[in-house]
């Protein structure tokens, strides 16, 4: 059995685009079915092409968002996953990691991880 990485609610991730990559803090959200990335960050990293549209239910309502497939490095593991594009400029974290990444079986979520004193 492979060892699984323990994630807290906030983790550093590296998003890789066509010509650039950037390390950002991401919100780990086990309640979100899909992962999301800020539109401006996606443009800066030249993510794309858009592969499809996905119906997303959020606090703002129901809408369709474009999907891009990109590489994300999380806890030392590089995965390829779909991210929906959304305006997250008003949110604390420009990237949200949802179940589509977390359900790979490579991670365990510990909500107290980042709060524990060393």
**113 belongs to a structural domain:** no
Strand-pairing partners, residue 16, are: 21, 71
Predicted confidence band at 90 (pLDDT cuts at 50, 70, 90)? very high
SS (H, E, C) 24-82: EEEEECCCCCCEEEEHHHHHHCCCCCEEEEEEEEECCEEEEEEEEEEEEEECCEEEEEE
Is pLDDT above 50 for 32? yes
Per-residue pLDDT tens for 65-80? 999 999 999 999 999 9
Q: Is the residue at 19 inside a domain? A: yes
Our count of domains for the chain comes to 1
**Whole-prediction pTM:** 0.89
| Domain-located, residue 115 | no
Q: Using CA atoms, how far apart are residues 89 and 79, in angstroms rounded to an integer?
A: 25
**For residue 117, is it within any domain?**
no
CATH of the domain at 66: 2.40.70.10
Domain that holds residue 74: 5-108
Share of the chain above pLDDT 70, in %: 95
Using the predicted structure, report yes or no on whether residue 6 has a pLDDT greater than 80. yes
């Amino acid at each position: 059995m492979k060892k699984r990485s323990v994630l807290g609610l906030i983790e550093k991730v590296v998003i890789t685009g066509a010509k650039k990559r950037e390390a950002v803090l991401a919100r780990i959200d086990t309640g979100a079915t899909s992962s999301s990335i800020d539109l401006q960050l996606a443009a800066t990293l030249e993510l794309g092409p858009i592969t499809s549209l996905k119906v997303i239910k959020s606090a703002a309502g129901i809408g369709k968002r474009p999907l891009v497939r990109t590489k994300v490095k999380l806890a030392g593991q590089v995965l390829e996953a779909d991210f929906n594009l959304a305006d997250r400029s008003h949110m604390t974290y420009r990237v949200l990691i949802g179940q589509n990444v977390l359900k790979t079986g490579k991670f365990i979520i510990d909500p107290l991880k980042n709060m524990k004193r060393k």
